[in-house]
């Protein structure tokens, strides 16, 4: 009986802690959104974050989508050959990259690179009392730290996803032409003709949502980090984990909404 009561107590504490965390994130999100439309606007911070999140993430996004497109071509060809459906490789790669793999892989790669960086930077500022100094100087930390990064990530991720989509499809094209003996012209024509505008728009909207999640989680965990190096380390880890989970969950919800 005592063991059963202990089990229920543990489950109850975990449930309450999860509900409290969800509420804190929701409040942080609402405060951030409320500051987006109100001056002052820190354009320099926004442009700096846009450069860091967007331009400097291009290599990792490009390499990830390139090799994923190539591996996807081999896998689809291998599976399609069992049903004499090898000709559908270009179409499936195009729709798979544009709808799902492009935005999701971009979001996850940027989450690992950017969300951790934001959490570490903001967490270090909290530990070294730089955030308190901003308050002393009558600068709103949410306005100065969170809003530019959230806006920059929301703008940068669709652009990264668009570039990743092109590189991913070209990765499949290179493997299809060089290894699987597809005609270059036929491969490109099939890829282009099969795509619809809704496929492209849905992927870009997903990428924008993922960018918002990545920056929001980085700022939230950075500002919520405990004092000391260990607190900053936990904040960095939590930012990456929570961003990745929310990206995958929101991807399912957005797919249900669009398709």
Q: Are residues 108 and 1 in the same domain?
A: no
pLDDT in tens, 123-149: 888 888 888 888 888 888 888 888 999
DSSP string, 11-80: HHHHHHHHHHHHHHHHHHHHHHHHHHTSS---HHHHHHHHHHHTGGGHHHHHHHHHHHHHHHHHHHHHHH
pTM of the predicted structure, to 2 decimals: 0.90
Q: Are residues 186 and 59 in the same domain?
A: yes
Q: Are residues 59 and 176 in the same domain?
A: yes
Q: Are residues 22 and 72 in the same domain?
A: no
Q: Are residues 72 and 163 in the same domain?
A: yes
Q: Are residues 215 and 187 in the same domain?
A: yes
Q: Is 180 exposed, middle or buried (0-12, 13-18, 19+ CB in 10 A)?
A: middle
pLDDT at 1: 64
Counting as low any pLDDT under 70, the low residues of the chain are: 1, 4-5, 8
Domain residues for 75? 43-258
Q: Are residues 103 and 31 in the same domain?
A: no
| Domains contained in the chain, number | 2
Q: Are residues 195 and 92 in the same domain?
A: yes
Q: Are residues 112 and 233 in the same domain?
A: yes
Q: Are residues 34 and 113 in the same domain?
A: no
Q: Is 31 exposed, middle or buried (0-12, 13-18, 19+ CB in 10 A)?
A: middle
Q: Are residues 101 and 16 in the same domain?
A: no
């Amino acid at each position: 009986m005592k063991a059963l009561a202990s089990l229920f107590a543990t489950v109850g504490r975990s449930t309450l802690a999860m509900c409290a965390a969800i509420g804190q994130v929701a409040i942080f999100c609402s405060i951030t959104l409320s500051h987006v439309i109100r001056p002052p606007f820190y354009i320099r911070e926004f442009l700096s974050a846009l450069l860091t999140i967007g331009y400097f993430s291009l290599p990792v996004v490009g390499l990830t989508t390139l090799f994923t497109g190539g591996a996807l071509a081999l896998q689809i060809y291998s599976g399609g050959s069992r049903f004499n459906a090898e000709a559908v490789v270009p179409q499936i790669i195009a729709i798979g990259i544009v709808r799902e793999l492009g935005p999701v892989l971009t979001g996850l790669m940027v989450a690992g690179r950017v969300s951790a960086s934001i959490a570490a930077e903001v967490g270090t500022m909290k530990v070294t009392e730089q955030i308190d100094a901003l308050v002393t100087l009558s600068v709103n930390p949410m306005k100065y730290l969170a809003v530019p990064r959230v806006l920059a990530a929301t703008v940068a991720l669709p652009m990264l996803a668009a570039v990743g989509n092109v590189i991913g499809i070209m990765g499949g094209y290179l493997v299809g032409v060089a290894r699987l003996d597809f005609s270059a012209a036929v491969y490109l024509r099939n890829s282009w003709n099969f795509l619809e505008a809704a496929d492209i728009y849905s992927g870009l909207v997903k990428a924008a949502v993922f960018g918002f999640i990545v920056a929001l989680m980085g700022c939230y965990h950075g500002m919520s980090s405990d004092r000391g190096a260990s607190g900053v380390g936990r904040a960095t880890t939590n930012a990456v984990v929570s961003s990745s989970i929310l990206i995958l969950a929101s991807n399912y919800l957005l797919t249900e909404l669009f398709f």
